[in-house]
Structure 1
Amino acid sequence: MERKALGKGIAALIPEKEEGRKNQIHFVQSDQIKPNPFQPREDFDNQSIEELAQSIKEKGVIQPLLVRRKADFYELIAGERRLRAAKLLNLKELPIIVKDAEDRDSLELALIENIQRQGLNPIEEAHAYQHLIDKFHVTQEKISDVLGKSRVTISNTLRLLKLPQEIQEEMKKGRISFAHGRALLEVEDTNQQRRLAQLVITNGLSVRELENLIKSRRFKGVKRRMGTIVRDPLTAVLEEELQHILATKVRISKKKKRGSIQIEFYSQEDLERIMQVIRGSVTP
């Protein structure tokens, strides 16, 4: 499927004087090209770099690197994966296109390239947005306009930086999704966020299951604050454990030697999931 243009794209960021010129391709020594200090990508997958290197070995560097002139060398704007792959092959020369770009343009162009290739994880994306805001005083509206993303999406991505560092690292690794992270932001207590994040990883909770668990805990917190009932500590522990296992709200009512367990579900699908966990047919 052909990918649509992303927002206003690079044309919105490169000075107009550049647009009127033909993009001339030059070949320069690879050691003359230095990495982009504003590169938003924080982690590079070695396997994908090796696969790209194999492709370059067979077909060459099809797309020139985008660079800007800096004193006696060229600074990369976009194309760091290609540069790393080329260095693995010890290529002496690389094709480049030289652009007249300021620091802000360099970051924006690198950000656009990575997002167009769907290469950044949510935390890398959030850091790039925050850097644009802090260093260049770019508004969220401007980022939204340039990248073709809604203002709400930009705002939600930036909010991920409020999560504990451990959770951000798990999001970088892909063990916690953007949607999971957004759900965790609804929890104010950071220790609770960490515990819930661990449940997501350990039990493979879906976003809906996590949201249900958060709702059940919030309701439980309200009941506790009301202070109308003093709970038996052991019962509370067992109740918490069952909620962890079933990923839904569980209520244990105890009266002397008898009692009952109330398990909530939110759809037929959720009920079937809970029954499978109880029967032990799937790993909770």
Structure 2
Amino acid sequence: MSTKLRAGQKIKLKSVEELLGVTNEESALDIEIVKIRPFKNHPFKVVDDEKMQDLVESIRANGILSPVLIRPIGFDRYEMVSGHRRMHAAQLLGLESLPSIIRDMTDDEAVVRMVDSNIQREELLPSEKAFAYKMKMEAMKRQGYRSDLGCDGTSGQNDQKLFGKVSRDILAEEMGESSKQIQRYIRLTELIPELLDYVDQKRIQFTVAVEISYIEQEIQRWLFAYIRDNGMVKLNQISILRTELQAGAMTESKMITLLNNSQPGKLPSSKLTFTEKKLREYFPPEYTTTQMRNVIEKLLGEWKQAQ
């Protein structure tokens, strides 16, 4: 039965510790920054932008209010799970240690926790979402989030939320995205880094980038050079290119011609070809090809002047 809020009753928001799953028994310890390495293949960029400067000033004035979450990796060394931006800000301030919650976690548990603690940030780049979704979905699969298994790898009958669903569907619900959109984001991880940077810079539209992701990487490199020199490509151009790729071999020059001819509003170029056998029907047999060409050019010139 749901309970309505009384007038004036405050809504209790979860603390950072609750979001991270930190229990009351866990206490923060000061850990030297030199002993903490970034999370392997961390998909979220840590940049020195205005928000980072705000975080630096906050830490300068108030210290680090929320401890970072790390896991031990042996030999008195640790891996950062949640807190990369706080660690970077602390390094900019010259701090030597961080208040840290230390927790034993498997690789997959750490991946899920790392993604969950970062994915709700505002203004995430498409590349950040792409690799974060991919990492978490793969971790969920290894943990047993399958259509016939529960989250603990046993019969899904004990967990109706998971029953009949695959990891991508569960991830979509958790992230507030459609299953199809999750799939589209993950496709972006198949792009070469240069094209993925263009997606982040909005030099390639999201839907166009998803289509490009199905093209082999050598041709993606040709596409990068084309976009760099000519500007954005449209969805219809990539669709035509993919159709041509299925039909046969492709060269860079052929791709360039194809993209140029398929620009919206531009009529494709075409060739008008006459065989030598056909042309000789109109010339004496002793005429050479050079003589025939000269006559044709002269007649075309006269025709043009008469128009």
Q: Which TM-score bucket, shorter chain as reference?
A: 0.5 to 0.7
Quote how far apart the aligned CAs of 1:192 are: 4.8
Partner residue of 1:41?
43
Mapped pair 1:154 → 2:182: yes
Unaligned runs of 5+ in 2: 1-12, 144-166, 248-253, 274-299, 302-307
- Output one character per residue of 1:136-193: Cα deviation in whole Å (capped at 9) or x when no partner: 625333433443332212221222233345424544666445333113246x465554
**More displaced stretch, 249-258 vs 177-186:** 249-258
Partner residue of 1:264?
none
* Contact kept? 1:144, 1:150, Cα under 8 Å: yes
Residue correspondences, number: 231
Quote how far apart the aligned CAs of 1:89 are: 0.8
> TM (normalized to structure 1)?
0.59
Mapped pair 1:211 → 2:235: yes
Where in structure 2 are the equivalents of 1:185-200 lying within 5 Å?
A: 185=213, 188=215, 190=217, 192-200=219-227
Mapped pair 1:95 → 2:123: no
Which has the higher Rg, Structure 1 or Structure 2? Answer: 2
* Contact kept? 1:126, 1:158, Cα under 8 Å: yes
Cα distance in structure 2, aligned partners of 1:248 and 1:189: 28
Where in structure 2 are the equivalents of 1:1-284 lying within 5 Å?
A: 14=21, 21-22=23-24, 26-31=28-33, 34-38=36-40, 40-41=42-43, 43-47=45-49, 49-69=52-72, 72-118=76-122, 121-132=125-136, 137=142, 139-171=167-199, 175-185=203-213, 188=215, 190=217, 192-205=219-232, 210-215=234-239, 221=244, 243=261, 247-252=264-269
Cα distance in structure 1, aligned partners of 2:242 and 2:135: 34
**More displaced stretch, 137-146 vs 103-112:** 137-146
Unaligned runs of 5+ in 1: 226-235, 259-284
Q: Are residues 218 and 250 of structure 1, via their aligned partners in 2, closer, same or farther at CA, if it must alter by over 3 Å?
A: farther
Quote how far apart the aligned CAs of 1:198 are: 4.1
Query: One-letter code of the match for 2:56?
Result: A
Cα distance in structure 2, aligned partners of 1:29 and 1:107: 21
SS in structure 1 opposite 2:65?
A: coil
Q: Are residues 97 and 200 of structure 1, via their aligned partners in 2, closer, same or farther at CA, if it must alter by over 3 Å?
A: same
* Contact kept? 1:171, 1:178, Cα under 8 Å: yes
Cα distance in structure 2, aligned partners of 1:32 and 1:218: 49
Q: Are residues 24 and 198 of structure 1, via their aligned partners in 2, closer, same or farther at CA, if it must alter by over 3 Å?
A: same
The higher-RCO structure (CA 8 Å, 6+ apart) is 1
Cα distance in structure 2, aligned partners of 1:200 and 1:13: 42
Quote how far apart the aligned CAs of 1:77 are: 1.4
* Contact kept? 1:56, 1:86, Cα under 8 Å: yes
SS in structure 1 opposite 2:69?
A: strand
Q: Are residues 60 and 174 of structure 1, via their aligned partners in 2, closer, same or farther at CA, if it must alter by over 3 Å?
A: farther
Query: One-letter code of the match for 1:251?
Result: P
Give me the CA root mean square deviation: 4.5
Q: Are residues 203 and 60 of structure 1, via their aligned partners in 2, closer, same or farther at CA, if it must alter by over 3 Å?
A: farther
* Contact kept? 1:35, 1:75, Cα under 8 Å: yes
Cα distance in structure 2, aligned partners of 1:154 and 1:11: 26
Cα distance in structure 2, aligned partners of 1:169 and 1:39: 17
Q: Are residues 53 and 164 of structure 1, via their aligned partners in 2, closer, same or farther at CA, if it must alter by over 3 Å?
A: same
Quote how far apart the aligned CAs of 1:51 are: 5.0
> TM (normalized to structure 2)?
0.55
